Amino acid sequence: MNSTPVSRPTTGSDPLIVPRTEHGIQRRQVSTNALKVIERLQEAGFDAYLVGGCIRDLLLETRPKDFDVATNATPEEIRELFRNARLIGRRFRLAHVRFGREIIEVATFRGGGDGDGDDDDADRVVEDGGRVTRDNVFGTEAEDARRRDFTINALMYDPATETIRDHVDGYADVRQRRLRLIGEPVSRYREDPVRLLRAARFMVKLDLAMEPQTAGPIVSMAPLLEGIPPSRLFDEILKLFLSGHAWPTYQALVRLALWPELFPGLFPDPAQPPKLVENALKNTDQRIAEGLPVTPGFLFAAFLWQRVKARADELVAAGAAPVEALAEAGEEAIVAQARKVALHRRFSTIAKEIWCMQPRFEKRRGKRAVRLINERRFRAAYDFLLLRVDEEPELAELAQWWTDVQEVDHEERMKMIHSAPAGGGGKKRRRRPRKRKTPSAQ
């Protein structure tokens, strides 16, 4: 930070203007398509700025995910200016301007607390439960800044003058790496309790200190998440756990009493989650760091495993076959969990496949093993088996065998499969109690 003066607002709605010499953002760091959109709007006489997370990210030297534009042009006026614009959104219409694979989101300034500041809820039906919300209304630039959640998310950038426009003292907060809600925290959380989760997420992901008034009410207000539709919570869960900081985010959610609102009653002591869960979260972060694909199905499989396994063991004790028992227990766990966080079917299917393949690893001999290796979800189920070893050390030898069998050539693999121990997977199925650990407390 240097000492170049910044101009102070003269009236209540004038922003603090931060010049380029101070903020250091270069135009070339900004998507050229976003620049084109802003230029065209400004040439047509409108105000238009980059807004939100992208400026924050540029200042924090992380790579913005997308570049959003805010303007005083109405959605119709935007559409008239851009042939490649499409209006979306039910409650609040905004324009998507498409350039090949990149979409620039252009939103008209809006005012008022709308209870859900998320702009991209095009096909989400938000039921507002008991929350008091006002209708979306167009607003001024200053109002648009103030209806946002955190000060660091409310900065605007004008490429024409290369200045940052700051209505909420967000610039100083970014520089001091401080997370602060705009306005009065208790009412801002009440207006939209998802902000509780967003606070935890930004704090961890951007390594920010939460300002005390922003942090203070979180624990006591956590129960307000009760009123949020499960589908919206699921969208939020994806951002919480699939952004490369899943494990520290989990810990923050526990500390802030938010975790039990999302996944009630899963672990006796959420501060000491099952090792498998910790490993799954860390594993997810590592895969993201390595650019490998991740699926929420795998994480949910880990979160719910203890519950699923305990219930499946009961069903097996009552005479059910292991795979069917897991299928039934899995379905029950997913249905129960969906009351809080709705896991999309394609992901719950993955979780169930992972669970149901676990007993099949015990049958290594012959065709069954070959069939298992060729299953679409083999790799995920095998990764899951590896995660189980920490808590079920008796699986170590089995897991090693499955590691080896994937590494050898075809001929060697056939040899291994034919000489493998029967492992309960011989020709005829014997129904005898399986040698399984009783579910431990964690």
Binding site for Mg ion (CB under 5 A): 53
8 Å CB contact between 158 and 130: no
Out of ligand ATP, Mg ion, none, which partner does residue 118 contact, by CB within 5 to 8 A per kind? ligand ATP
CA distance 51 to 35: 12
Out of Mg ion, ligand ATP, none, which partner does residue 195 contact, by CB within 5 to 8 A per kind? ligand ATP
Name the minimum Å distance from CB 333 to Mg ion: 31
Q: Contact letters (x/-) for ligand ATP, 82-121, by CB under 6 A?
A: ----------------------------------xxxx--
- From the list 70-78, 192-200, 263-271, 310-318, the region that binds ligand ATP by CB under 6 A is 192-200
Helix (H, G, I), strand (E, B) or coil at 94: strand
8 Å CB contact between 420 and 369: yes
8 Å CB contact between 88 and 96: yes
180 forms part of the interface with ligand ATP (CB under 6 A): no
199 vs 301 by CB, closer to ligand ATP? 199
Out of Mg ion, ligand ATP, none, which partner does residue 153 contact, by CB within 5 to 8 A per kind? ligand ATP
Name the minimum Å distance from CB 29 to Mg ion: 16
167 vs 195 by CB, closer to ligand ATP? 195
**Cβ neighbours of residue 209 under 8 Å, at least 6 residues apart?**
177, 178, 179, 203
CA distance 18 to 5: 8
Name the minimum Å distance from CB 231 to ligand ATP: 15
Q: Contact letters (x/-) for ligand ATP, 217-256, by CB under 6 A?
A: ----------------------x-----------------
Of 15, 53, 185, 297, the residue at the interface with ligand ATP (CB under 6 A) is 53
CA distance 219 to 198: 14
Per-position b or e across 316-332, b if 16+ CB within 10 A of its CB? beeebebeebbbebbeb
Q: Which of 245, 269, 241, 243 is nearest to 255 (CA)?
A: 269
8 Å CB contact between 171 and 154: no
Q: What count of Cα atoms within 13 Å lies in the side-chain half-sphere of residue 305? A: 30
CA distance 422 to 5: 77
Name the minimum Å distance from CB 221 to ligand ATP: 14
Catalytically active residues are: 66, 68, 149
Out of ligand ATP, Mg ion, none, which partner does residue 194 contact, by CB within 5 to 8 A per kind? ligand ATP
Q: How far is CA 193 from CA 115, 134, 165, in A?
A: 8, 15, 27
Q: Which of 205, 305, 196 is nearest to 253 (CA)?
A: 196
Of 153, 163, 214, 279, the residue at the interface with ligand ATP (CB under 6 A) is 153
- From the list 132-140, 148-156, 163-171, 216-224, the region that binds ligand ATP by CB under 6 A is 148-156
119 vs 313 by CB, closer to ligand ATP? 119
Q: How far is CA 158 from CA 35, 38, 75, 242, 349, in A?
A: 9, 8, 20, 31, 46
Query: By CB under 6 A, how many residues form the interface with ligand ATP?
Result: 15
52 forms part of the interface with ligand ATP (CB under 6 A): yes
149 forms part of the interface with ligand ATP (CB under 6 A): yes
Which residue type sits at 100?
G
Name the minimum Å distance from CB 89 to ligand ATP: 13
273 forms part of the interface with ligand ATP (CB under 6 A): no
22 vs 119 by CB, closer to ligand ATP? 119
Binding stretches for ligand ATP (CB under 6 A): 52-53, 65, 116-119, 148-149, 153-154, 192, 194-195, 239
